[in-house]
Structure 1
Amino acid sequence: MSVELQLPDLPPPFSTLAAPHRHSAVIEGSEFLAFAERADSPPEALAQLAALRTRYPDATHHCWAYQIGPLYRFSDDGEPGGTAGAPMLRAIGGQGVDRVMVVVVRYYGGTKLGTGGLVRAYGGTAAECLRTAPRVLVRGRVTLRVGVGFGHLSALYHLLGSVDAVRGEEEFTAAGVLLPVSLYPEDAPAFAQAMRDATSGGATVAVVDSV
């Protein structure tokens, strides 16, 4: 008998940064230090900003922008309106990444860049930082709760080794083991069917949630 799973709708995959990244440039005597890092919430993004303000307390400006799904914010931090934060936000969109915070720290070098020059400096430095940063594609997973008797533990572990699965914490019961397993949605039905086949229908497989 085939296994029917009601899989939840998952959010679309997105590209984000695999690790924090830095890029620097000197433009007309001013030093621009760009920092980009993944941020999954506004408080996380603002914590990154606070850390950089502490690290570079003597900088002239700490301009920033973040994009976290539908949420976004930016700041010119004293630069003329629209010359820093907004170009940085456009750089995030132009690089096709999400859940990202970008901070550009400027040390003024004595030469005014003008409105257009500031837009190019902040937007360009942010874009280059993001362009050269390592990336990762984040895809949603579904979590299955698998139950097997003690006699079928080896079958469970063997099947887990054949798919890209993230194992949760085992829960031992009088009848056997319950184990949360997170899989990509395209792998879940075949895994559930293989689990039932390997245990002659003795395994239980239920959808718990998505991550």
Structure 2
Amino acid sequence: MPFTIAAPITFEEEIKKSRFQAIAVPVDNEQAVKTFLEQQRDSSTTHQCWAWKIGHQLRFNDDGEPSGTAGRPILATIEGNELTNVLVLVNRWYGGIKLGTGGLVRAYGGCAGQCLALAEKIELIEKKTVQFSCHFNEWAILQYELNSQQIEYSEDYTAEGVLVKAFMQVDQIDPLKLKLQDISRGREQLKILEDDQDD
């Protein structure tokens, strides 16, 4: 099961006079990543290194640190914690003592890891939007089904009956599909609406 973090979290530490600050935030798409990084731009820092992972997409940036010493270790901590839909930014304020490549890897990876260790992890549940129609006399049964499973939905009344849109967990779709076919005696079909996810 993929996990993400419940809320933004920060962690700070000092390593050989350099100050490191990690900020981890949940993100759903690349636009959220760009927006967050723009908001966090800070000219007082020496380096702003980051990594993110959303599904199978991932990126990292060393922001002027020697290649492979910052972004990649941050990404390794995200993957090591089996997280997705997460962005971790590590700010560094240089304190005058060089850490060397091994020291940088430990500092960036360690700071990101400590930050993620503080975060509350939640299961990332895939949801889809579905749509179906039914007659007025069938709606009460289906409405009860949606309410009992706490599924979000909206209903539109038409001349023929009710048009329903629901936002539900993937594992709830098949049982509802069968229920709808059963109640409408095969007349109605549940449609999964392709949402505009950036894949």
Scaled by the length of structure 2, what TM-score is found? 0.84
Alignment partner of 1:181 is 2:166 = yes
Give distance in 1, aligned partners of 2:45 and 2:87.
Answer: 19
Structure 2 unmatched runs, 5+: none
Question: Within 2, Cα distance between the matches of 1:37 and 1:183?
Answer: 24
Gaps of 5+ in 1: 1-12
Shift of 1:73: 2.0
- Contact 1:159–1:195 under 8 Å retained in 2: no
CA contact (8 A) 1:144 1:182 kept: yes
Query: How do 1:165-176 and structure 2 match up within 5 A?
Result: 165-167=151-153, 169-176=154-161
Question: 1-side partners of 2:57 and 2:177: how far apart?
Answer: 37
Q: Kindly tell me: are residues 202 and 148 of structure 1, through their superposed partners in 2, closer, same or farther at Cα, counting changes over 3 Å?
A: farther
Counterpart among 63, 68, 78 of residue 82 in structure 1: 68
> Which one of the candidate residues 67, 74, 77 is aligned to 2:53?
67
Does the 8 Å contact 1:15/1:135 carry over to 2? yes
Q: Which residue of 1 aligns with 2:188?
A: 204
Q: 1:154 to 1:186 in 2, by over 3 A?
A: same
- What is the aligned partner in structure 2 of residue 6 from structure 1? none
Q: Percent identity?
A: 37
Aligned residue pairs, count: 195
Corresponding residue SS for 1:171: strand
Equivalences for residues 1-211 of structure 1 within 5 A: 13-53=1-41, 56-167=42-153, 169-195=154-180, 199=183, 201=185, 204-209=188-193
1: distance between equivalents of 2:157 and 2:43? Answer: 53
- Give the alignment's TM-score, normalised by structure 1: 0.80
Check whether the contact 1:144–1:207 (CA below 8 A) recurs between aligned residues: yes
